[in-house]
Chain A
Amino acid sequence: MITEHGIGKRKPIGITIVIFILIIFAIWTLFPVIWAVITSFKEPGDSYKPTFIPYKQFKPTLYAWKNAFITTRDRTLRALRNSIIIATLSSTVTLLLGAFAGYSLARYEFRKWKNKDIALWILSNRMFPPVAVMIPYFLIMQKLHLLDNLLGIVMVHTTMNLPLAVWLMLDFFSELPKDLEEAAMIDGCGHFKAFFYIAIPIAAPGLVAVYVLSFIFSWNEFLFVIVLSFKKAMTLPVLIAGSLTVRGLDFWKVASLSILAIIPPVILALVLSRYLVRGLTMGAIKE
């Protein structure tokens, strides 16, 4: 039997071993998340015990979740709201600028600087270490009175995601036929109209992929948020870090806040799974 790649004849026993190994790896992969879910439904006293089965081994409670959404409601909701606003705004700006630039590099020819050189220069911005601009960002935002302000973080996250967005949009647009736009332009349609009414709709999957990727990166970002926020502009990742106090780590709190922060990006990643590898490998690998 020839199945997919690299596979010759397969005996059923072989497949059993394969599945066994894959299950082991799946357990290793899922364990921290499952453990966090379990811990988030434990009372503080139980959260330090290695018990797994609710009702049998421990009494499930909503203590951690009530604490997050009732006792410290304002803090949690503000962080959640900030995370949503920052990720939404920064990925919108990223997508807009990225789609324009990607389209330009895919459809027009630049002479003095070659298209490829411009594109690679843009991409190279994604590679330098974030800490290399951390100090100037702090000083700039201080001067602009944008410390602890959502706008400051949105600006920084846009910078962080833009290079990859341009690069991926270039990639998506170059795969699409340009005949439609050319035909429209011959019929008297302007360049901008051709872009908005013809190129954008056919590139929709690529646009969604870039938007969602930027959203995930912004949502997960931690370094710039702790540097640029103290209280008002705090996001969920910073709130998680805040559960480490002088008394130590509150397991139930870490667990519930982490689950809260994990759910949106994981759902988006699952929806986007076809494009995730392409995005993370900077388009080097297409699924």
Chain B
Amino acid sequence: MAVASIGRKNVKWAFLLPALIYLMLMAILPLGWTLTLSFTKWHANIMPSPKWVGLDNYKYFLFENPRFWNALGFTSMYVGISVTGELILGLILAFLLSHKFKGRNFFRVIYLIPMACPPIAVAFLWRMMLHPDIGVINTILKSIGLSAVKWTTSVNMAPFTIIMVDIWEWTPFMFLALLAAFQSLPIELYQAAAVDGANSWQMFTHITLPLIAPVIVTISLIRAIDAFKLFELVFGITGAGPGSATESLSFYVYVIGMKWFKLGRGSSISLLFLIILLIFAITLISRFKKVRTG
């Protein structure tokens, strides 16, 4: 009786509050702490407590230290090229797999594998295969008469190596999402188009693409937000090198904060990073808001 007599109003909060409180304590509070720390200088190896320095850290990253801009530049380029590449490859594959044939499910299952693997395992397996001298990929290239590629040791090549592995890992995500979106489209449209003599390419460009355009934008945003957090591939494949050619924002924050223990600077750069991601996140959330009701 005691439980049943709790009003509707209290019940809904009793259900919701544990999660809300947990997120307040473990997500919002720490973010507030990051904000406070970002206005301080705290080299934790040698300083017992933080010292207030106002906006110095922000000034440092925005105007004095090119490494932040370098990391932002690399990360943006990587996000742009990988997400576009994954989208194009995903569209092609989804188009091909929307044909019905024996063994179709086999391919769908195979393509699930890369995105389920721990990213750090993916990174180290590729590092092993891409080793400049004894990696299997270069030895195969040499054995068929091509020259070895400096996958991870050339400043110009290394960023594209990271992009290539990302495309390996996440094209299947785009492809499976797109395939699911294709299959939710009404079949009558295609039957009508078939009666009118349209071929499958025409159907694809005139019916499928326009109808799934909103889905394409949504999944690209989801992918872009996750891609921006790039850490494991950099950690495992190149270690941000050569030089800082493949240093991502996450990796740079990790180095400042956890290698050098410059907690104030690390906090401020991670907030700059947060602001950049926020632009993408707000776009995505406003899309979710429009699509869903309830």
Contact = CB atoms under 8 A, between A and B. Distances in A.
Contacts of A227: 254, 258
Interface residues of A, number: 113
Interface in B1-53: 3-4, 6, 8, 11-13, 15-16, 18-20, 22-23, 26-27, 29-31, 33-34, 37
B70 interface: no
Category for how many chain B residues contact A: 35 or more
B218 interface: yes
Contacts of A277: 173, 176-177, 180
Interface stretch (B61-69, B76-84, B119-127, B154-162): B119-127
Interface in B133-148: 134, 136, 139-140, 143
Given A22-B96, A261-B118, A101 B16 contact: yes
Contacts of B140: 50
Contact of B200 (A8, A29, A127, A251): A8
A257 B6 CA distance: 52
A206 interface: no
Interface in B201-253: 203-204, 207-208, 215, 218-219, 222, 225, 228-229, 231-232, 235-236, 249-250, 253
Given A131-B250, A174-B294, A222-B231, A29 B111 contact: yes
Contacts of B280: 127
* B30, B119, B258 interface centre (most CB from chain A within 10 Å): B30
A177 interface: no
Interface in A11-70: 14-15, 18-19, 21-22, 25-26, 28-30, 32-33, 35-36, 39, 48-50
Contact of B128 (A25, A109, A249): A249
Contact of B110 (A15, A29, A193, A195): A29
Interface string B256-277: 0110000100110011011001
B153 interface: no
B254 A22 contact: no
Contacts of A222: 118-120, 231-232, 235
A92 interface: no
A223 B231 contact: yes
B117 A191 contact: no
A120 interface: yes
Nearest to B173: A280
A258 interface: yes
Contacts, number: 344
Nearest to A50: B139
Contacts of A282: 222, 288
A15 B181 CA distance: 22
Contacts of A50: 136, 139-140, 143
A189 B1 CA distance: 9
Contact of A7 (B31, B98, B218, B289): B98
B4 A116 contact: no
A239 to B, nearest CB: 10
Given A159-B27, A222-B118, A222-B120, A195 B15 contact: yes
A195 B6 CA distance: 14
Given A29-B168, A134-B258, A118 B121 contact: no
B116 A139 contact: no
Contacts of A19: 101, 103
A93 to B, nearest CB: 9
B128 A255 contact: yes
A284 B294 CA distance: 14
Closest A-B pairs by Cβ, 5 of them: A104-B15, A269-B116, A108-B12, A136-B30, A101-B19
Given A131-B257, A135-B270, 11 more contacts: A7-B190, A19-B101, A33-B113, A50-B143, A131-B270, A136-B33, A222-B118, A222-B119, A241-B120, A258-B121, A266-B116
16 contacts: A2-B191, A3-B100, A6-B190, A6-B204, A8-B190, A22-B96, A29-B168, A127-B285, A129-B249, A135-B37, A159-B22, A193-B4, A219-B118, A244-B127, A280-B222, A285-B215
Interface of A: 2-10, 14-15, 18-19, 21-22, 25-26, 28-30, 32-33, 35-36, 39, 48-50, 97-98, 100-101, 103-110, 115-116, 118, 120, 122-125, 127-140, 155-156, 158-159, 162-163, 166, 174, 188-193, 195, 216, 219-220, 222-223, 226-227, 236-237, 240-241, 243-244, 249, 251, 254-255, 257-258, 261-262, 265-266, 268-270, 273, 276-277, 280-282, 284-287
